[in-house]
Structure 1
């Protein structure tokens, strides 16, 4: 069902992205003006009934307030994906030789415009942000192995970096002889200044004993706990401090916060398209700012296109299903059916998730994990301290109990208490808001927690 936002739509200028690529990716011009062959008619704004239909495949018995983990794909995009899959299966050779690369180029062109990159050659399409991290970190590993970086030189990353990216840093940087400095971030967090201060401390530590900071890995939106990081400010600090390369892991960003490559200024930036951009899993982009350093990047899966540049290498890594990478044009059409397009969706999701987070915190007598301006389409909400969440295992048990017994799907974060805290909040729920969510999803979560409190349930009483 649609949220209340959809009851008050106004007509808007439905912006369209136009391409100079036909179905097979060929450039078409007439009198020096680009022409779009077979231009589709302008679509009307999406109705509540249409929206319900687009997400009718969701399990209606579950309050799914966890879009952040796996995203959501509308029925019309699933149908478009199936058409791409059939095109391949009907005539794989024709698809491989004539359709795949031009279609991926069309996707790359769209993304280039959406993220305000200078050149389509700066945009590669990969499976997910974890793959993008491996591409960047692999280059760092080679730099240590080839003597370009000295043993003991440093990579700096946030303490709350995504777990898979932490593992990649361990696999590629630590193993190659680099040091890793983690930025210790507070949580709950009250201001960007707290983050900036800790980041500066980490850079100073990384430069100790004459070593250099070779790589900074900065999240745009941390996953768990979720906080919007002042990425532009941190990138500028890195430039001022002489950090060699800056990689922004923005898995959650496109569709939930502003994404502008010129303003952010990082060397590398990745974001998933299946989390907040309505693509089917899995697809992401990796932006690599044009430079000599970018030429040394390679896909970790070596195939026939090795040496032809990362974008081309990534467009063919062997026989597999590429359909998720090809539906971006259809996704843009879907987005343009909403008032304000993707920016309108982003703004409404932010406003709604903050409203719902504040409602839950008030109902439980707790607090949000950060100020609203440091939230995107996800918010951390404190759970009642009486649950006694005292470990990551407790958090997982509590999450499982909510799913199995109450039909609520929401991630739970364990926050270790600080010394001297009295009756601390150690459990936080990460709630998401996407266009399919309704207020009853959050009331269901509220009532489930109140039920558990009233019945004296604690994590110690839950079975493993």
Structure 2
């Protein structure tokens, strides 16, 4: 349950305003922080919970790792599995979604006859992983051009399906694009690709906590998502989902004790075995696992902040992002670049051409605004990407708009 002053405020959260919610985070009150999407921000009570776990670990490391850890991990995994709509047996923890993408890509045996499909809006780190694997195996990376600005979700589906051929082995797709903040029609895409015999690896870095999520209904072969962004867990917590019949092929980036563990299903006595999938990913060597073990607390805590729980929290953030985008588009006199139905709690607004680094630095140096200026599709084209979390106010977005106008006028 909530702790201390922050906990007392959250218990009566129906009376809190956005400026009050900010007190539940450690964010600097002198900074206009509009960039929750990059690294998230962990509430004080969740950080306090993590610290109690760290103290427990250090007080008796052998007890913690050898006797308690696996039970604690399974308990938080069950909570996470319920939240994302999957069986807990199909989930493992990884430090971040990029690690999840790498684990899948570097486990699969591609050949020079294979094509690996992705889009022009794929997250750079994961695109690099795809290129790395293609270079080592001789596979070909095929890029589907998803337009931006965009008028409808159909403009996402059409170019991706047109890029599929008889050689397409795997499609790497964002659920929510990092650069442009688009919520892609991922369930429709996965279904259409599966019907064509193409496995799907979904980079859902932003999805958990931003949009309703049911991995079972999406049906992707592989899905990875961050917990430190919109779930607000401590940094270093993400998950990888793998369909049950594909788990034997997927190995962690670090091979450790789980590779030959006698506790594997089929080796251990009936009822005592665990899948190699979880044995390998659950223990890759000594590390601080408290970020993983705090995920259930983050889900619980964030779900208490509004009377309607997570559904109201997601709707609140989305409505705020849409209102903020409208405000900024009006101030900057630009058209919204995508329909509202393709937005979650991120939104991007086109800006006049220019240096993205100079503009981002000026917003920070002169106005103490923390917001990303994105070079898209290529410099000098650029966007401003805003995030919306409970602690943000519309006044902050208005301040951003006025600051941009000031900088453009100089």
Give TM-score scaled by structure 1 length: 0.79
For 2:212 and 2:333, the matched residues in 1 are separated by 32
SS at match of 2:231: coil
For 1:126 and 1:156, the matched residues in 2 are separated by 24
Name which of structure 1's ranges 311-320 and 86-95 shifts more when overlaid on structure 2. Answer: 311-320
For 2:292 and 2:360, the matched residues in 1 are separated by 32
8 A contact 1:224–1:413 mirrored in 2 = yes
Quote the residue 1:405 is aligned against: 366
For 1:230 and 1:214, the matched residues in 2 are separated by 20
Quote the residue 1:236 is aligned against: 191
Quote the residue 1:109 is aligned against: 78
8 A contact 2:237–2:295 mirrored in 1 = no
State yes or no: 1:221 paired with 2:191.
Answer: no
Instruction: Tell me how far 1:333 sits from its aligned partner.
Output: 2.4
SS at match of 1:59: coil
Quote the residue 2:268 is aligned against: none
Instruction: Tell me how far 1:52 sits from its aligned partner.
Output: 3.5
1:367 equivalent among 317, 328, 335: 335
State yes or no: 1:85 paired with 2:73.
Answer: no
Q: Deviations over 1:41-96 (max 9, x none)?
A: xx8342528634312x2111211111100001000001011111111111111111
Q: Deviations over 1:87-108 (max 9, x none)?
A: 1111111111112111111111
For 2:149 and 2:374, the matched residues in 1 are separated by 12
The within-5 A match list for 1:377-456 is 377-383=345-351, 385=352, 388-389=353-354, 394-416=355-377, 426-455=381-410
1:301 equivalent among 254, 257, 264: 254
Quote the residue 2:272 is aligned against: none
8 A contact 2:80–2:296 mirrored in 1 = no
For 1:366 and 1:103, the matched residues in 2 are separated by 50
SS at match of 1:139: coil
8 A contact 1:62–1:408 mirrored in 2 = yes
Instruction: Tell me how far 1:453 sits from its aligned partner.
Output: 2.6
Quote the residue 1:24 is aligned against: none
Instruction: Tell me how far 1:416 sits from its aligned partner.
Output: 4.6
For 1:438 and 1:269, the matched residues in 2 are separated by 32
Q: Deviations over 1:142-195 (max 9, x none)?
A: x23xxxxx4221110111111110111112233111111011111111111111
SS at match of 2:65: helix
The runs of 4+ residues in structure 1 deviating greater than 4 Å are none
Instruction: Tell me how far 1:417 sits from its aligned partner.
Output: 8.0
Q: Over the residues paired in the alignment, what is the CA RMSD in angstroms?
A: 1.9
Instruction: Tell me how far 1:444 sits from its aligned partner.
Output: 1.6
SS at match of 2:258: coil
Quote the residue 1:354 is aligned against: 322
For 1:189 and 1:407, the matched residues in 2 are separated by 31
For 1:417 and 1:101, the matched residues in 2 are separated by 46
Instruction: Tell me how far 1:123 sits from its aligned partner.
Output: 0.7
The within-5 A match list for 1:36-435 is 44-46=11-13, 47-48=15-16, 51-55=21-25, 57-117=26-86, 119-140=87-108, 143-144=109-110, 150-204=111-165, 207=166, 212-243=167-198, 245-291=199-245, 293-307=246-260, 308=264, 309-337=276-304, 338-383=306-351, 385=352, 388-389=353-354, 394-416=355-377, 426-435=381-390
8 A contact 1:174–1:180 mirrored in 2 = no
8 A contact 1:192–1:229 mirrored in 2 = yes
8 A contact 1:368–1:379 mirrored in 2 = no
8 A contact 1:255–1:343 mirrored in 2 = no
8 A contact 1:380–1:430 mirrored in 2 = yes
SS at match of 1:203: coil
For 1:416 and 1:430, the matched residues in 2 are separated by 14
Aligned length: 384
For 2:358 and 2:57, the matched residues in 1 are separated by 43
For 1:253 and 1:176, the matched residues in 2 are separated by 30
8 A contact 2:327–2:398 mirrored in 1 = no
Could you list the runs of 5+ residues in structure 1 that have no partner in the other structure?
1-15, 17-42, 145-149, 419-424, 456-464
Quote the residue 1:38 is aligned against: none
